[in-house]
Amino acid sequence: MVEKLPAESSVTREVVLSLPFTGLWLARNSPARRVPSHGSDLLGERYAIDFIGVDDHRRTAGTRDWRTFLATEPPERFYAFGRPILAPADGVVVDVHDGEVDHAGRRSQLALVPYMLGQMERLRQGVGAVAGNYLIIALRDSDVFVALAHLRAGSIRVAVGEEVRTGQPVADCGNSGNSTQPHVHVQVMDSVDLSVARGVPMAFRHFRERPRGARQFQVRESGIPGEEAVVEPLPVSAAEDLGT
């Protein structure tokens, strides 16, 4: 039996958010490269994007040893792990899921093999096994929702029904759920229920971006980061002063 994928959302307008962090992060699985960005329309992922914390040299971790090439690694090795995750928009928290463990990191191709073989089993286990620890915010004056996933176990700082403001710390970056190394997964969707949600296009405001292979950053007033681009949010005043 072929599983029917959710149809594309009827919400076609682009939802503009703030990047949910500070500092440098690497964009992966960007809808600027392809749609569906994660290869599936399931769980509202059609326009989702991942961000991995990096240093000035685009490195995701400061340590490389035999484990990097042959085994798993502690999540604490990675720059993203434990970094604050911020609310990307004003709204109300409508769903919170915690209690999923933070897995070891997997940069080794050998370590990735058993991980890939376990993909279908995680899907069968349900949303929590895929999204890990997550929270969902109903955006103010809108009929859409933003989800932040793969959060660090026990780090969620907000509760269902709580109002949040853009830039407010809501959790820490983790490595829970279907994740090979610590990162934050961001998506906008038309339902609070991840099992039936359909993805909605999104963009981010006021950030600088260094595309893969480029030496210089460019300032973007609004847009979606390119695949493998390094991004950093900018204060509104800085973006206005620098121009686009």
Measured torsion, CA atoms of residues 192, 40, 38, 65, in degrees rounded to the nearest 10: 110
Q: What is the length of the chain?
A: 244
List phi, psi (to 5°) of 113: -60, -55
What's the pLDDT at 182?
97
- Average pLDDT of the residues in 111-137: 78
Give the Cα separation of 12 and 68 in Å (integer): 42
What's the pLDDT at 146?
98
Give the Cα separation of 183 and 53 in Å (integer): 7
Say whether pLDDT at 175 is over 70. yes
Q: Provide the pLDDT confidence category of residue 120 given band limits of 50, 70 and 90.
A: low
Say whether pLDDT at 62 is over 90. no
What's the pLDDT at 244?
37
What's the pLDDT at 6?
45
Fold of 15-242: Glucose Permease (Domain IIA) (2.70.70)
Picking from 42-46, 161-165, 206-210, 238-242, which range would have the lowest pLDDT averaged per residue? 238-242
238 or 12: which leads in pLDDT: 12
- Long-range contact pairs involving 106-111 (C-beta distance under 8 Å, separation at least 24): 106/72, 106/73, 106/180, 106/181, 107/60, 107/61, 107/68, 107/69, 107/73, 107/180, 107/181, 108/67, 108/68, 108/69, 108/70, 108/71, 108/72, 110/69, 110/70, 110/71, 111/70, 111/71, 111/72
Q: Provide the pLDDT confidence category of residue 166 given band limits of 50, 70 and 90.
A: very high
If you average pLDDT over every residue of the chain, what do you get? 89
What's the pLDDT at 19?
98
Parse the chain into domains and list their residue ranges. Answer: 15-242
Q: Provide the pLDDT confidence category of residue 181 given band limits of 50, 70 and 90.
A: very high
Say whether pLDDT at 31 is over 70. yes
What's the pLDDT at 129?
86
Amino acid at residue number 170: V
